[in-house]
Structure 1
Amino acid sequence: MIIRTATDLSDVCMLADEIATTHHQHRPEIFAPAPGQIRDKAQWSSCITAENGAMFIAEISGQIAGFVTVQIGNTHAISFLQPRIICRIGTIVVAQTQQRQGLGRELLSHVEKWAASKHANEVRLEVFKFNPQAIEFYAAQNFLAQSQIMTKQLNYE
C-alpha cells in the first residue's frame, strides 16, 4: 500500500459514492442520494486544490482503496479561545472491501504526520452517531469526544 497526495480525481468520486450512499441511507433528510461521479466532482476537486488543505489517497496494487481530506485552520481570530492550529478531517473513506485491514489507521497516521509538519496542535473530525463502527475506530485511534452537535428539525409551511 502507498499513500500519496492526490493530484487528480482518478477513482475518488466512485469511492466517495460509497460513503454518500451510507449517509443517505441513515439520514436522507440531510444527505442527498449518491448520484454517480459527476455531481460531486467539483467538491472533491476543491479538496485537492485547497490552499491550506490536501487530499491523500491510499492505493493498493495501483487501485484507490481509500482517501482522506484535511484542512488546516486556527483559532487566532476568536478572542476567548487559546490560539491553536487545528487540522480538520473533512472526509475519510476506506472501500468496504478494504475495511478492517489497517488502511484507515495508515491514513490517520499520515494525516497526523502532515498536521505535525504544519505545526497543528490537534486533529479534529466529526462523526455521525449512526456510524458506531467509525466511532469505535476513532476511539481506538485515541480520538476523544470534545463536543456534541445537536440539531432540531424545523418544519415551516
Structure 2
Amino acid sequence: MNIRLRSAVAGDYDAVNAIIREGQDEHAEALPDRFARLDQVVAMGWYRSFSKQPNKEIIVAECGDKLVGVAMLEMKQSPSFEALVPRTYAYLNELAVASTHQRQGIGKKLYTASLAWARERGASSLELNVWEFNERAQQFYASVGMRTLHRMLFTDLT
C-alpha cells in the first residue's frame, strides 16, 4: 500500500470532515453527555484558518486517490503565569485514520510527520488530549512514545 502525505487543500474539506466524523461518532457513543453527533464536525472557518496561517497545518494521508488520514496541528504558547516556564509547543488537535485503513501504519506516518512539523517550528514538545474511554488511542500514543502529563478530573453534579 502506497501512502502519500501532503498538506491539505480546500478541496479536501469533505473527506477530512468524514474521517474526523468517524472519531466524533465514537466519542458521542461513549460520552453522549459531552459529544454531539454532527454531520459537519470540522467548521469550515476553522478548517480554512489552518491553511492560512504558518503556525497551523493539516497533513493528509492519501492511498491512491482516496484520503485516508488526517492530522491537524498548531503552534501554541504556554500561559503567561509566573509559576510556569514560558515555552512554545505544538498541539495535535486531531489525528484520525479512516476505519477502513486503520492498523496499517498510517497513523504512525501522520504522527511522525507531525513531530517533524513541530520540530521545524522550534516546538519544545508535541501535546494532545485523549479521552479516558479511548483505550485504542491511548495504546497507539504509548506505542509511539508519548507519556501522560496530567489528568483532568470531574464530579458529575446532575
Distance apart, 1:54 and its partner CA = 1.1
Q: Which runs of 5+ in 2 are unaligned?
A: none
Q: Which runs of 5+ in 1 are unaligned?
A: none
C-alpha separation in 2, matches of 1:23 and 1:45: 24
Relative distance call for 1:149 and 1:76 in structure 2 (3 A) is: closer
2:29 aligned with 1:25? yes
Which TM-score applies when normalising by structure 2?
0.89
Q: Which residue of 1 aligns with 2:20?
A: 16
Answer yes or no: is 1:74 the counterpart of 2:91: no
Contact 1:88 1:124 in 2 (8 A): yes
- Pairing of 1:54-133 with structure 2 (within 5 A): 54-75=57-78, 77-133=80-136
What amino acid is aligned across from residue 5 of structure 2 in structure 1? I
Deviation at 1:81, TM superposition (A): 1.6
Amino acid at match of 1:17: R
C-alpha offsets along residues 134-155 of structure 1, whole Å, 9 cap, x if unaligned? 1011001000001001122333
Gap change, CA 1:76 and 1:152, over 3 Å in 2:
closer
Deviations 1:118-148 (A, max 9, x none): 0001000111111111101100100000100
Sequence identity percentage: 25
37-46 or 106-115: which moved more? 37-46
State how far apart, in whole Å, the 1-side matches of 2:42 and 2:54 are: 22
Cα distance change of structure 1 residues 11 and 53 upon mapping to structure 2, 3 Å threshold = same
Aligned Cα root-mean-square deviation (Å): 1.8
Offset of residue 13 of structure 1: 1.3
> What is the TM-score when the length of structure 1 is the normalising length?
0.89
Q: Does the 8 A contact of 2:71 with 2:95 survive in 1?
A: yes
Segment of structure 1 superposing worse, 50-59 or 130-139 = 50-59
Separation in 2 of the partners of 1:39 and 1:19? 12
2:154 corresponds to which residue? 151
CA deviations over 1:55-83 (Å, ceiling 9, x no partner): 11111102100101111012262321222
